[in-house]
Structure 1
Amino acid sequence: MDKPTTKRIWRCAKYYFELCLAKGQSSDTVREKRGGLKKFFLWCIERNVTHIDQIDLDLMDEYAGYLHAYRKPLDGQPLCPAQKRNLLTFVKTFVKYMHIKKLLPINALENIELPSNGQQIPKALYTISEIELILEQPLLFGVKGLRDRAILETFFATGIRRGELVKLDLDDIDFGSKLLRVHGKGKKERLVPISLRGCEWLAFYTRKVRPMFAFIGTGKALFLANNGKRYLPGKLSDMASQYVKLAGFDRTGACHLYRHNTATTMLDNGADLRHIQEMLGHASILTTQLYTHVSRKKLSEVYEATHPSAVKGSGLF
């Protein structure tokens, strides 16, 4: 890759994206960075800021104010704390790398103060019975539905991420040990247990259904889209959300709803937080701890057994 001979923001940004890909960052991660920096770049153009050496703390204070006042066009809602922090972090990291690559003499954003991330509790939680209802929907759609059912069963059995599922290969399944090798974030691999039910659906899919989609260029990819190639993450979400709507739910949710259910149900049933962290592939246990706030069963049991108002009753009768 060629280092830019100009300090123009978007030319340097393209170089930065190439660096990120060369370091092994996933295409999803780089796509998020591209979207975040594009938003910043368009904001800068309106203020005649076109070069990276014009980006300083004062400019970022203005940008933070803009993000705070911004309202999403679809629903008129403000950005959540995590979104604002991420958008500022995209710029901070970009400027840091421009300094590392000697396109900037100093890192002007080294001391930037980022807003708090807040504590985002997972939304749109589904019960086991609701998930089972969603899983019934693909059976209405023939061969494609059988493939989709196998995909959703894999999500349900393992709680893996959308980006992890699309990377699965045929030889990542160990039917004998009921384990799935998952290629996680940062090229970190982990072994995740998969239920007998999940294995049965995968065995059925690989033997009977996958050959109907495969062609000479398919390779070892496990789950195949209609064109015989790996699923694109966005298309996978479209497919998963379609079945949520068909089941009659107007709540949000697609691929990630199974991950949320895995975490909360395992917590409710007494799983150790460290085991859930390892299964979900969280780098920090702080991320896993968010699910303790929605582990309703255990909290309710502790409350009923220990809170004086619950223990003593109402006193009315």
Structure 2
Amino acid sequence: MEKPSTKHIWRCVIYYLWLCLAKGQASDTIRGKRSGLKKFYYWAVEKGVRYIDQINLDLMDEYHAYLNVYRKELDGQPLSDAQKRSLLTFVKTFVQYMHRKGLLVENSLASIELPSRGFQLPKALYSVNEIESILRQTLLFGIKGLRDRVILEVFFATGIRRGELIKLNLDDVDFQNELIRVHGKGKRERLIPISKRALEWLVLYIGKVRPMFAFIGSGNSLFLANNGKRYKPGKLSDMASQYVKLAGIERPGACHLYRHSTATEMLENDADLRHVQELLGHADISTTQIYTHVSRAKLSAVYSDTHPSAQSDSGLFVKVKNSF
């Protein structure tokens, strides 16, 4: 794609997104950037700002103020700190790239101060019993349900991302060594363990189920949608969320709920934080540390065993109660 001859914001955004695609960034990542920059563009046009050389720190202060009072259409709730930071970061990175490509003389947002990410726990956590209940729902839907069961079993066994599961190929599964090769973010590959239970489901799927969906265009893709091709991200989420509803669970959740549960359960069972980081493919261990705040059972047990107040039984309450 040729460098744009105009500095019009949206024309430059299209060029920027093409650059991101050429670098091999995930489709979900590019989709998020497009949505975020589109939001900024619509706001900027209302302010009379149409060109990238009009974007400066003063304008971004106004945009930040707008995000602070913005309310989401679906539920009327404000944006979280993390969401506001992401929306501002989209613009910052975009301007940075335009400077690198010579479309801007200077990077006007080089010194922008971004808000804190804040602290946000996963929206919905599921117990192992709840996940087992969700998995059982798949058996009501014949051959398609069997395929869905295998997909959800792999999600639960590995904690991989939706985009990573979509990319899996047949030769990514090492049955002998009980490993699976995951194509992660930024083209980073990792080998992670997978349970015997999930492998048994995969044997059934590859031998009996997958051939019923496959055609010449399926290639080496491991998991096939109804059309015999790789799943699209949205369709995979729709499939996963329907089983949550069928299990009678009203909390939100789809593909990522298994990732949350995998991390939390492993930490509950004394897994080392670094090992969980490697399994999940987090580049920064601080991302993995979120799950230490979710995992409360161990903290409660340690508290009961070590805190003087939790250990003491002075009988004071009984004495006070009897005095009335």
Q: Look up the match of 1:57.
A: 57
Q: TM-score w.r.t. structure 2 length?
A: 0.97
Q: CA deviation at 1:312?
A: 1.2
Q: Look up the match of 2:232.
A: 232
Output the CA distance in 2 between the equivalents of 1:97 and 1:206: 44
Q: Look up the match of 1:74.
A: 74
Gapped regions of structure 2 (runs ≥ 5): 319-324
Output the CA distance in 2 between the equivalents of 1:313 and 1:294: 29
Residue 148 (structure 1) aligned with residue 148 (structure 2) = yes
Q: CA deviation at 1:313?
A: 3.7
What per-residue deviation string (whole Å, max 9, x for no partner) do you get for residues 11-32 of structure 1? 0110001111111111111111
252-261 or 307-316, which moves further after superposition? 307-316
Output the CA distance in 1 between the equivalents of 2:201 and 2:187: 27
Larger Rg: 2
Output the CA distance in 2 between the equivalents of 1:313 and 1:259: 40
Output the CA distance in 1 between the equivalents of 2:45 and 2:236: 35
Q: Look up the match of 2:18.
A: 18
What per-residue deviation string (whole Å, max 9, x for no partner) do you get for residues 104-162 of structure 1? 00100000000000011122111100100000001000000000000000001000000
What per-residue deviation string (whole Å, max 9, x for no partner) do you get for residues 171-197 of structure 1? 000011110000000000001100000
Output the CA distance in 1 between the equivalents of 2:229 and 2:21: 21
Moved over 4 A (4+): none
Q: Look up the match of 2:108.
A: 108
Output the CA distance in 1 between the equivalents of 2:13 and 2:124: 35
Aligned letter for 1:73?
E
Residue 165 (structure 1) aligned with residue 171 (structure 2) = no
Q: TM-score w.r.t. structure 1 length?
A: 0.99
Q: Look up the match of 1:209.
A: 209
Q: Look up the match of 2:117.
A: 117
Output the CA distance in 1 between the equivalents of 2:121 and 2:308: 27
Q: Look up the match of 1:245.
A: 245
Output the CA distance in 1 between the equivalents of 2:234 and 2:314: 51
Q: CA deviation at 1:314?
A: 6.7
What per-residue deviation string (whole Å, max 9, x for no partner) do you get for residues 205-230 of structure 1? 01100000001100000000000000
What is the root-mean-square deviation in Å for CA atoms of aligned residues?
0.8
Q: Look up the match of 1:298.
A: 298
Q: CA deviation at 1:308?
A: 2.0
Change (3 A) 1:259 1:313: farther
Q: Look up the match of 1:289.
A: 289
SS in 1 for 2:32: helix
Change (3 A) 1:95 1:180: same
Aligned letter for 2:290?
L
Residue 95 (structure 1) aligned with residue 91 (structure 2) = no
SS in 2 for 1:217: helix
Output the CA distance in 2 between the equivalents of 1:180 and 1:253: 24
Change (3 A) 1:314 1:284: farther
Q: Look up the match of 1:178.
A: 178
Q: Look up the match of 2:196.
A: 196
Output the CA distance in 1 between the equivalents of 2:148 and 2:135: 9
Residue 263 (structure 1) aligned with residue 288 (structure 2) = no
SS in 1 for 2:181: strand
Identity of aligned residues (%): 72
Q: CA deviation at 1:300?
A: 1.1
Aligned letter for 1:214?
A
Output the CA distance in 1 between the equivalents of 2:313 and 2:144: 54
Output the CA distance in 2 between the equivalents of 1:171 and 1:295: 35
SS in 1 for 2:217: coil
Q: CA deviation at 1:309?
A: 2.3
Aligned letter for 2:301?
E
